[in-house]
């Protein structure tokens, strides 16, 4: 920037408007020369008060004066100075009026408005000052609303001056140009109203709290169990200091790992876990061999998600797999010695991480682990139960005596010229009490206030808020230091020298030495060195937040984009929202920087010709990361990310069609009834004239009808519409999936399988891995019931297992399918081994329904090897699980399977009683359950001598059997009917039913059930 050029800056300012009352009448009756003299004296009276209090006159507007405080440097008491300046102007104008009244017959008075907030300040050396922003407008409107001789202040000003001025509220004001009423106060008088290295400073006033941490650690070690302590407190109250002191006193044998949540959450859910692993340092090499390969791989995979590393390839681990890996890490560390895990800043954590921490507390057993959760009280809005636990406590404010001692210690060890200041404080107890009282019992407030006093002197007014303190400290930095802090704040609470270099290259620092500036910032305790080499962190999180808020938005946008380009590398550009989404979404920071840059550009440069391309990139990253979350079943994150990506895209963007489908899927998977329909509504609004979009939304509505069972659904009306658009791969893909769901409901599994294969072909043509994976999983599960031979089904399982090997949640249904097919084919030992693996995975990942599916298949295996008592018990357990999960229809089917096992044990009376109970209970049955009920009822009726009833039931079963093409279901029902016919004295129909059963089993390749039918046939053959 050239010398003398205007340099816009974003600042917190206080604006004062002073206006003369009755100026129109005055001008009408005074001679222009006299009027000019009176106005000159009026201007001098007002500006003298403004200048005396450190304000700057921005402009004169007729007989109104606009002044600003906080320029060129902010002070912690700018609001108070502004109010005092307005009061001084009011008093001096009245004094002027008293002087003019006897000789000129003139009476003057003013009314004033004062507002504080963010503004853009443009100061050209030697030229005019310009302050731009809503704060200016609000001050002007408050001045207009003020009565004669009144000073009205806005909400922000009132909060900063109420300790030094007396205020009374006025009714909320409806101000011109403001969309909502504005809170305001009238000033009635200016009388008072009613990071660092802490080693030298003792921990003051926290004996009880640190004792609770010590007690919890002792219990964890003594009882060899997990203990959890939640430490709550407002910013700056000393939470981290308390925990740090506790950790430092732990015995040498204890391991401490720490992870801190960042203040922004998209895509960095698991960053604290990465920090915990990194905090192990060289110990990680010793820990890795003790972990299972999958857990070690998962933890390494999380580390590679860090923005400074290369992107990952392949499938991500799922939420439950990550949770399992963290539990395994904690267990391994705790078996080597006591473990203390500290989670910092959990008020910024995403729900997925909070769930993981809850999971740790519930599942860690027989190991000495102390989990310390550190957060602001806001966390309790998301986790109210955490605050109710016995081991939870909140740090309160220090009392006056404790603050006085703390101020003395801080003065001695923290401030420049500490000896002088500490001596003055010791000699002047009134000043010590003043600092302690102004700090509100908050150690951070005390530290910042003392540093301000050291830099500005003992006469500096006490800042009423930490916001004012931080602003004042920042404005005392020189331009180079401030420039470095602004770039660092854009990166985040933690930043590296390399990241700073990227931003300095994007917007050079006029040849300033970044390393020298960093050294000065460390000495002034604005930042400190981080744990990793060449890394730094802000000494106080609020410092970072304040710097970031006071940095111009156009600069932030430029820097966020530069950081995004650094992460993405040469492949960062793209022209389709979904094309590189999966690859880019492996970097959570990339998504954050792109999205933030886009939103900032929209606010300050909406006509930027590069904004459409940036919007596309940001949406691509959000959609990609949301799709990855959908892959790993992190549904809350998936929905949030996908909806944010959707909100970035303008109306008319074709990607709204894809997003509607993805958000619909995520909402459906969460069991949400409204969100899927809402997603379709949004897509229809955004693409009202797009034929493909209208069609896909209609198809999805039919799919929801099938899923929710709200009404009969059909896909046939869409076939003709799609025939006119053969290239609509997504439309055809979703249509075929709907068709498959309808066919499954009809019991036509072969047709459903064919429809899924058609859908899969379209997904591959589309190049959409998400669609392909979901269809492959469905196709694999369908192989259990479709006419597809077992060998082909097993081959499909092998291929899909390889694809999903990194995600056990996706792999589980494949394993259950594989076990069932193996058992039917006669490979019982292999089936049991696969089920053991499925049970282990389901237990590790806490997937209860998957465990129930494995239990059901285990019942089938035991039945096939004639362990009917064991099979009966397994079916009953699985049915009970499904009833608890609200899945009554499949639960009743399993109860019928248990009845079949009773019959195979010869317990006919019990079986008859069970059938009567199930019929009396009522409720809908699946086709499978209805067929099984008819066949078993026919058997019981025949055994009880009701041959006619048995024949009628068998005929109804035959009629219904024609509707399904599930070979094993047909074989099972025909085998039961063969037994019923034989018991009713009809050997011909019995033999025919057995033959047909064998034919169906053979078509599937189900050797074990076929072997049972052949054995029964031989036993029943006349000798």
The residue written with tokens 């079943």 in the block is 633
User: Picking from 189-198, 277-286, 625-634, 784-793, which range would have the lowest pLDDT averaged per residue?
Assistant: 189-198
* Confidence (pLDDT) at 425: 41
Cis peptide before 72 (omega within 30 of 0): yes
Stretch 11-19: mean pLDDT: 90
Q: Is the pLDDT of residue 245 over 90?
A: yes
User: What is the spatial distance between Cα 131 and Cα 991, in angstroms, rounded to a whole number?
Assistant: 97
Helix (H) or strand (E) holding 884: helix 868-884
The residue whose two tokens read 């990607």 is: 655
pLDDT at 216 over 90: yes
* pLDDT tens by residue, 30-49: 778 887 888 888 888 898 88
What are the pLDDT digits (tens) for 119-139? 888 876 545 678 888 889 899
**Cα–Cα distance measured from residue 625 to residue 268, given in angstroms and rounded to the nearest whole number:** 11
Return the closest-CA partner of residue 644 out of 668, 664, 625, 670. Answer: 625
- β-strands 255-260, 151-154: how paired? unpaired
Over residues 182-198, mean pLDDT: 74
- Transcribe 931-995 into DSSP letters: HHHHHHHHHHHHHTT-HHHHHHHHHHHHHHHTT---HHHHHHHHHHHHHHHHHTT-HHHHHHHHH
List, for residues 454-474, the tens digit of each pLDDT value: 555 565 444 435 666 677 677
Between CA 800 and CA 835 the distance in angstroms is 17
pLDDT > 70 fraction of the chain, expressed in percent and rounded:
87
- From CA 500, how far away is CA 11, in angstroms rounded? 22
Beta-carbon contacts of 539 under 8 Å, excluding residues fewer than 6 positions away, are: 195, 196, 525, 526, 527, 528
Other C-beta atoms closer than 10 Å to the C-beta of 384 total 9
Q: What pLDDT score was predicted for residue 370?
A: 95
pTM of this structure:
0.67
The mean pLDDT value of the chain amounts to 83
- pLDDT for 127: 54
pLDDT higher than threshold 60 for residue 815: yes
Question: Which of 668, 647, 569 shows the shortest CA–CA distance to 307?
Answer: 569
Dist. CA 318–CA 312, nearest whole Å: 15
Q: What is the pLDDT of residue 347?
A: 86
What is the arithmetic mean of pLDDT over 753-763? 92
pLDDT for residue 865 is more than 60: yes
Grade residue 560 by pLDDT with cuts at 50, 70 and 90: very high
Q: Which helix (H) or strand (E) holds 110?
A: strand 110-123
- Position 456 scores a pLDDT of 53
pLDDT at 430 > cutoff 70: no
Task: With a cut of 70, say whether residue 992 has pLDDT above it.
Answer: yes
Distance CA 54, CA 82 (A): 9
Please state which of the ranges 430-444, 573-587, 769-783, 979-993 shows the lowest mean pLDDT. 573-587
């Amino acid at each position: 920037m050239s010398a003398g050029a205007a340099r816009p800056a974003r600042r917190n300012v206080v604006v004062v408007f002073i206006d003369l009352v009755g100026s129109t009448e005055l001008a009408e009756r005074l001679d222009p020369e006299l009027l000019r003299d009176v106005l000159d004296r009026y201007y001098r009276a007002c500006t003298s008060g403004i200048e005396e209090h450190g304000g700057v006159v921005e402009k004169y507007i007729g007989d109104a004066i606009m002044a600003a405080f906080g320029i060129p440097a902010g002070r912690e008491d700018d609001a108070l100075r502004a109010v005092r300046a307005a009061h001084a102007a009011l008093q001096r104008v009245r004094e002027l009026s008293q002087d003019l009244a006897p000789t000129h017959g003139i009476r003057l008075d003013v009314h004033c408005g004062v507002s504080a907030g963010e503004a853009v300040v443009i100061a050209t050396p030697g030229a005019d000052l310009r302050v731009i922003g809503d704060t200016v407008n609000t001050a002007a409107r408050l001045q207009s609303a003020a009565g004669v001789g009144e000073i009205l202040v806005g909400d922000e000003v009132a909060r900063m001056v109420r300790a030094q001025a007396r205020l009374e509220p006025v009714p909320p004001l409806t101000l011109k140009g403001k969309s909502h009423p504005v809170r305001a106060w009238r000033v009635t008088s200016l009388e008072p109203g009613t990071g660092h290295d802490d080693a030298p400073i003792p921990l003051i006033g926290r004996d009880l709290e640190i004792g609770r941490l010590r007690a919890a650690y002792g219990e964890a070690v003594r009882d060899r169990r997990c203990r959890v302590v939640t430490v709550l407190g407002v910013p700056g109250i000393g939470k981290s200091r308390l925990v740090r002191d506790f950790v430092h006193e732990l015995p040498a044998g204890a391991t401490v790992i720490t992870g801190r949540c960042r203040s922004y959450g998209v895509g960095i859910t698991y960053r604290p876990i990465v920090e915990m692993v990194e905090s192990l340092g060289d110990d990680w090499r010793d820990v890795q061999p003790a972990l299972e390969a999958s857990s070690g791989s998962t933890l390494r995979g999380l580390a590679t998600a860090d923005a400074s590393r290369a992107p990952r390839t392949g499938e991500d681990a799922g939420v439950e797999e990550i949770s399992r890996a963290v539990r395994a890490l904690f267990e391994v560390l705790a078996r080597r010695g006591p473990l203390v895990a500290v989670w910092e800043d959990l008020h910024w954590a995403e729900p997925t991480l909070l769930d993981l921490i809850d999971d740790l507390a519930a599942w860690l057993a027989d190991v000495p682990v102390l989990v310390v959760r550190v957060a602001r009280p806001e966390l309790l809005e998301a986790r109210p139960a955490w605050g109710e636990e016995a081991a939870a406590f909140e740090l309160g404010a220090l009392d006056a005596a404790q603050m006085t001692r703390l101020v003395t210690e801080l003065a001695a060890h923290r401030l420049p010229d500490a000896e002088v200041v500490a001596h003055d404080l010791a000699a002047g107890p009134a000043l010590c009490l003043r600092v302690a009282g102004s700090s509100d019992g908050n150690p951070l407030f005390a530290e910042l206030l003392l540093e301000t006093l050291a830099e500005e002197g003992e006469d500096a007014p006490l800042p009423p808020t930490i916001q004012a303190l931080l602003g004042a400290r920042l404005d005392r930095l020189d331009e180079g230091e401030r420039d470095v802090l602004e770039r660092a704040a854009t990166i985040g609470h933690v930043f590296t020298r390399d990241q700073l270099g990227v931003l300095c290259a994007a917007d050079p620092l006029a040849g300033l030495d970044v390393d020298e500036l960093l050294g000065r910032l460390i000495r002034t305790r604005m930042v400190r060195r981080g744990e990793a080499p060449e890394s730094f962190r802000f000494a106080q999180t609020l410092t970072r937040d304040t710097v970031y808020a006071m940095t111009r938005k156009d600069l932030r946008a430029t820097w966020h984009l530069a950081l995004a380009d650094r992460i993405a590398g040469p492949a960062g550009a793209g022209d389709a929202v979904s094309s590189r989404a999966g690859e880019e979404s492996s970097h959570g920071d990339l998504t954050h920087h792109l999205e933030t840059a886009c939103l900032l550009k929209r606010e300050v440069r909406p006509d930027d010709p590069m904004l459409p391309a940036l919007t596309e990139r940001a949406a691509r990253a959000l959609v990609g990361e949301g799709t990855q979350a959908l892959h790993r079943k992190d549904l809350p994150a998936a929905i949030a990310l996908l909806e944010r990506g959707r909100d970035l895209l303008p109306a008319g963007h074709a990607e709204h069609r894809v997003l509607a489908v993805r958000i619909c899927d995520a909402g459906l998977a969460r069991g949400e009834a409204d969100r899927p329909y809402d997603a379709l509504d949004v897509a229809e609004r955004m693409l009202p004239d797009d034929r493909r979009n209208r069609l896909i939304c209609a198809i999805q509505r039919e799919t929801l009808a099938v899923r929710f069972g709200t009404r009969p659904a059909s896909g046939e009306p869409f076939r003709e519409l799609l025939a006119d658009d053969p290239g609509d791969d997504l439309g055809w893909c979703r249509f075929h999936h709907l068709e498959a769901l309808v066919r499954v409901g009809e019991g036509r599994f072969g047709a459903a399988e064919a429809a899924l294969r058609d859908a899969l072909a379209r997904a591959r043509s589309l190049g959409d891995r998400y669609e392909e994976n979901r269809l492959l999983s469905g196709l694999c599960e369908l192989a259990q019931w479709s006419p597809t031979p077992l060998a082909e089904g097993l081959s499909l399982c092998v291929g899909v297992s390889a694809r999903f090997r990194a995600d056990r949640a996706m792999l589980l249904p494949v394993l259950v399918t594989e076990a069932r097919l193996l058992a039917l084919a006669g490979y019982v030992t292999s089936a049991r081994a696969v089920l053991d693996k499925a049970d282990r995975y389901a237990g590790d990942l806490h997937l209860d329904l998957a465990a129930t599916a494995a239990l059901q298949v285990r019942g089938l295996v035991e039945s096939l090897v004639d362990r009917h008592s064991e099979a009966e018990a397994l079916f009953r357990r699985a049915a009970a699980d499904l009833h608890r999960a609200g899945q009554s229809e499949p639960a009743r089917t399993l109860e019928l399977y248990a009845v079949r096992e009773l019959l195979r044990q010869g317990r006919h009376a019990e079986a008859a009683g069970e059938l009567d109970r199930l019929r009396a209970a009522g409720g809908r049955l699946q086709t499978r359950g209805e067929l099984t009920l008819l066949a078993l009822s026919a058997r019981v009726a025949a055994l009880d001598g009701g041959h006619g009833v048995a024949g009628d039931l068998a005929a109804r079963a035959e009629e219904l059997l024609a509707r399904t093409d599930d070979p094993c279901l047909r074989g099972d029902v025909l085998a039961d009917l063969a037994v019923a016919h034989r018991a009713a004295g009809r050997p011909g129909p019995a033999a025919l039913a057995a033959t047909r059963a064998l034919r169906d089993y053979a078509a599937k390749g189900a050797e074990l059930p076929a072997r049972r039918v052949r054995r029964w046939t031989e036993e029943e053959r006349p000798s």
